[in-house]
Homo-oligomer: A and B are copies of this chain.
Amino acid sequence: MTEIEGGITAPYGFKASGVHCGIKKNNLDLALIFSEFPALAAGMFTTNKVKAAPVVVSQKKIRQGWARSIVANSGNANACTGKKGIENAVKMCEIAANQLGISSQEVLVASTGVIGEQLPMEKVEEGIKMAVRSLSLQGSHIAAKAIITTDKKIKEIAVETDISGQGKKKVKIGGIAKGSGMISPNLATMLCFITTDACITPDALNQALQRAVNKSFNQISVDGDMSTNDTVIILANGKAGNKRIKTWRKKPTLRVKDENFEIFCENLDYLCIKLAKSIVKDGEGVTKMFEVKVEGAPFPDDARRIARKVASSNLVKTAIAGASPNWGRIMAALGSAHTRIKPEKVDILIEDMLVVEKGQSAQASLQNLREKLLKDEVRIIIRLNQGSCQTTFWGCDLTEKYVKINKRYV
Chain A residues at the B interface, C-beta cutoff of 8 Å: 47-51, 77, 79-82, 114-117, 182, 185-188, 223-228, 313-315, 318-319, 321-329, 331-337, 339-344, 356, 358-361, 366, 370, 398-400, 402-404, 406-410
CA distance A198 to B202 in the complex (A): 70
Which of chain B's residues have a CB closer than 8 A to the CB of A328?
Answer: 77, 79-80, 114-116, 186-187
A-B contact pairs, 22 of them (CB 8 A): A47-B336, A48-B335, A49-B343, A50-B335, A51-B335, A79-B331, A79-B332, A80-B331, A115-B328, A116-B360, A186-B326, A224-B313, A225-B329, A226-B332, A314-B314, A314-B398, A315-B406, A322-B406, A324-B410, A370-B409, A398-B403, A400-B403
Residues of A contacting B: mostly: loop
Q: How many Å lie between the Cα of A227 and that of B340 in the bound state?
A: 17
State in angstroms the CA–CA spacing of A318 and B224 once bound together.
Answer: 13
Task: Give A356's nearest chain B residue, CB to CB.
Answer: B80
A114 to B399, CA, bound (A): 23
Chain B residues within 8 Å of A360, by CB: 80-82, 116
Interface pair A318/B115, CB less than 8 Å apart: no
Distance, CA A55 to CA B282, complexed state (A)? 41
Given contacts A228-B332, A322-B407, 7 further A-B contacts (CB under 8 A): A50-B334, A82-B358, A186-B326, A186-B332, A225-B313, A314-B406, A400-B403
Q: How far is the CA of A187 from the CA of B336 in the complex (A)?
A: 12
A289 to B272, CA, bound (A): 40
CA distance A187 to B339 in the complex (A): 20
CB distance from A197 to the nearest CB of B (A): 36
Q: Given that A116-B327, A400-B400 are known contacts, is A182 also in contact with B315, CB under 8 Å in the complex?
A: yes
A49-B341, A225-B336 given as contacts; is B315 within 8 A of A407 (CB)? no
Known interface pairs A225-B313, A228-B332, A332-B225; A318-B186 also in contact (CB < 8 Å): no
**Docked complex Cα distance between A314 and B313 (Å):** 11
- A408 to B186 CA separation, bound complex (whole angstroms): 29
A117 to B322, CA, bound (A): 21
Report whether B325 and A359 are in contact in the complex, using a CB–CB cutoff of 8 Å: no
Say whether, besides A336-B48, A407-B322, A359 and B82 are in contact (CB < 8 Å).
yes
A370 — nearest CB in chain B belongs to which residue?
Answer: B409
Chain B residues lying within 8 Å of A333, measured Cβ to Cβ, are 225
Residue of B nearest to A315 (CB): B225
Contacts of A77 in B (CB 8 A): 328
Contacts of A343 in B (CB 8 A): 49-51, 80
Complex Cα distance A342/B51, Å?
11
- Looking across the interface, which residue of chain B has its beta carbon closest to that of A188? B315
Per the bound structure, the CA–CA distance linking A332 and B115 in Å amounts to 9
CB <8 Å contact, A224 and B314: yes
Considering the complex, give the chain B residue whose CB is closest to the CB of A369.
B410
A321 touches B403 (CB 8 A): yes
Question: Which residues from chain B contact A82 at a C-beta distance below 8 Å?
Answer: 344, 358-360
The closest CB in chain B to the CB of A339 belongs to B49
Give A326 to B327 CA distance when docked, in angstroms.
35
CA distance in complex: A339, B48 (Å): 10
Query: In the assembled complex, which residues on chain B have CB atoms less than 8 Å from the CB atom of A336?
Result: 47-50, 225-226
Q: Considering the chains assembled together, what is the distance between the CA atoms of A83 and B205 in angstroms?
A: 53
Q: Which of A81, A329, A342 counts the most B-chain CB atoms under 10 A from its CB?
A: A329
